[in-house]
Structure 1
Amino acid sequence: MRVARVGAPGAERPVVVAADGALLDLAGLTQDVDAAFLASLADLDPSTLPGLAPPPGASTLRFGPPVARPGKVVGIGLNYRDHAAEAGMPLPAEPVVFLKSPTSVSGPSDDVVMLPGSTTTDYEVELGVVLGRDLRGECDPHRALAAVAGYVLAQDVSDRALQLERGGTWTKGKSADTFCPLGPWLVTPDELGSPGVGGVRLRLSVDGDLRQDGSPCDMVFGIGELLCYTSGLMTLEAGDVVLTGTPAGVAMGRPEPRPYLRHGQVVEADGGVLGQQRTRVVDPGYGTIALDEEAAAG
């Protein structure tokens, strides 16, 4: 089953996306895809839902983030073997954990807004895990997986200078508004089937240039292990999102001049059954920067 939220920002409507792309209305069951709804998601029968017609005159329908504002977004660093290698770092002995602000969450086609004048904004395509019930101090990976409501395609956008050079606080470089595109939909575990997330392929391109192409099979720590570890550090609540790491190919891991994101570029992420994202990169200071450069040249 694929659960989504469609409509204008702040006015999204909860839906199920059928196999043929038709939208089934969830508004009669819940006002939003929130913690209470996620806890009962496994019992939902989509065949009982009415269809939802697209709004009149709408040529395209916006998908918002498939989960209403999560309480927290937990990130995992260096969890792909090839990514650790390109970063020149040893495989972690235990998961590297950081937080992204809940306000960083945005939709799969919303603009990624850089911090003004940034020259080190980087892309990371990831598999995101959405909790369907609270998890605290769990030690059994199989029981931890039973708490998962579904999986989402995600990006962990990062300003590397803020992350690594200005105090070494990862959260600082990863929490700007729009730095966590999610969606277009949440895919329930039964939809993935066998071999589950291991069969997911994560790809990301910038202006048509393929930069990342990997699989969760390359993870250092599996999803159940990650949930156990993080639930031992903090309570994971229904609706929380855990980002599970990124494969090789990020700009930071490439030779100089590193291809960090620039104003006007288009980032496309593809997660197969998890759907696709297409986001435009925007530098809010671009107009000012352009004027400054013109003045310097003239």
Structure 2
Amino acid sequence: MQIARTVPEVRAAIQELKKRRGDEEATVGFVPTMGYLHEGHASLLRKARSENGIAMLSIFVNPLQFGPNEDFSRYPRDEERDLQVARDNGVDLVFLPDVSAMYPKTVKTKVAVAEVTDLLCGASRPGHFDGVSTVVTKLFNIIQPDRAYFGMKDAQQVAVIERMTEDLNVPVQIVPCPIVRESDGLALSSRNVYLSGEERRQALVLSQSLQLAEGWLAECGGDYRSVKALIEAHIRTSPLADIDYVEIMDYPSIRPAYDLPSTELEGTRLLIALAVRFGRTRLIDNRLFQI
């Protein structure tokens, strides 16, 4: 497995890998991450490995997507462990830049996706998705992958990146991949390490409420506001839960389902998305429903 830390190094390494394989047309499967890898990331790496001639990973904690009061400095990092996860899952090349390699000058150009970013995490974390779109665009331009793999735990992020690549004619196939959960249902996240034992126990209310939502959707029909109220009430049975949002959205437009006529929702997908704080840790979770 090769490691590249600068833009020229990673571009040269990709070309060298293709030559070594004797296949200039070998596809590149790419998994962009912020590191502190877990089984969710590993599942993306295995899929990239199985579907491409070259499997690539980037590890970069992107400062542009953190707000002034967010946890950029606290975000967990463990380079040695991350590289071992990459080796174990068949990665050929890891791009491991520092901030100066990605942003050698003050950033004056940013990529912004309108409307899809207005609600959910886009509303509660202003500027977050501009940072995501900008860094992903840079990574796509640097690496020029054929396929890029993203976990659906951040469904809004997937919708934003799909729309960005479509609008800008970026020649990459976006491959959404299922949420990976612990055996008790908690969605895997690099931020789970911040949870105390009691916070982690109470955080199970997120996956539980998404499971219950299936029955509530059937009972309430198109009355999505009632479903939202039932989910919120269930989450509040956990004393430590501090709700940021509970929303029911059309996917991938990220428009509130309550505001859409039924004719626009027929045969579509509903996204029930949650963001809840337990202590200082903000967790997200979601589930897609076909209607």
Higher RCO (CA < 8 A, seq sep 6+): 1
Higher strand share: 1
Normalised by the length of structure 1, the TM-score is 0.25
Higher helix share: 2
Normalised by the length of structure 2, the TM-score is 0.26
